[in-house]
Amino acid sequence: MLLALVVAAAILGWAVPGPPRSLDRHQAINAVLAVLVFASAATVPAGAAGRLRALAPRLSVVVITTAVTLPAAAFALSRLVGAGPLRDGVLAAGVAPAEVASVAVTGIAGGEAAVAAVLLVASTLICVAAAGPILSAAGGAGVPATRVLTTLAVVVGLPLLAGLLLRRLTVTGGRAGDAGRRAVHAGGRAVHAAVPAGAAGDLAGDGFQSLAIAAVTILVWLVSGQVRLSAAYAALVAVLVALIVTSAAIGLLLARGLPRPARIAVLLSVSMRDFAVASGIAAAAFGPAAAAPLGIYGVLVMAWGALAARLAARPPP
């Protein structure tokens, strides 16, 4: 369902770009991203913190390796595009943090959303610290770290904390209600069907997952409306596809040996880089024209995420 929605939203945005462009001028993309982060955090399963502590060493390796290999891969692939804004846009995609939507897509795919959230936060901090020096060495200007950090705090940090808090309250309340119903049943004062522990929390999680799917679809529609295709973009599309494939290969290597839910999270976090943040970085380092290719990258990376979620959600043999 997600893949079909993403494709339909992309086609609609390309065909009728007026509404998404108008909404984008009013910060609609950031607003939808904030909703997406909130909904994703609200689906994080209980007990995730304990599993994250056990995975901390491996996740540290993932974050550090990604911070080195992805900019190098983007630099090498950008050489296949002529010098100018298109090449600069590819470089910006390489230094961007993990895609905010990767947390939601991980949950939809049956992966460990908490792992994706940790990788998102860690990669964001590295991006703030390293994007400026890397792009300056590539011929760009300095990237204002304060502005990037402030935007990500509002779009990612606050919604993430709010979603995690709501999830905790929902699960706790659901367990308390279930325990009360079982106690009434056991006391003989009334007869009720037994309710599985945490069922209320599970139902709320399903609702938030539906909200995340809707937000991903709207996000693709908004981004696709910003794309202005021309003949010069043919080589760019091929390079961006190669960048996504290379990132996915790196993610698969880094995820080897991990439990399946964590493997899905690492794959999607590494292979999906944030096109909205990359656009801001490209504009700050190279000028507004360098942000144009990131709209195409955004559509491609969301389509890849939807396809990966479809494949990963299939039950293992």
pLDDT digit string (tens) for 89-123? Answer: 899 899 888 987 888 888 888 898 889 888 888 88
- pLDDT, position 192: 45
- pLDDT, position 253: 96
- pLDDT, position 249: 96
- pLDDT, position 290: 78
Backbone angles phi, psi at 228, to 5 degrees: -120, 100
- pLDDT, position 191: 44
- pLDDT, position 143: 60
- pLDDT, position 171: 63
- pLDDT, position 287: 75
The burial class, CB within 10 Å (0-12 / 13-18 / 19+), for 68 is exposed
Q: What are the domain boundaries of the chain?
A: 2-312
Q: How many CB atoms lie within 10 A of CB 4?
A: 11
- pLDDT, position 109: 87
Task: Calculate the alpha carbon distances from 316 to 113, 162, 230, 238 in Å.
Answer: 19, 33, 42, 32
Class of 2-312 in CATH: mainly alpha
Regions in the chain scoring below 50 on pLDDT: 190-200
Q: How much is the pTM?
A: 0.73
- pLDDT, position 145: 61
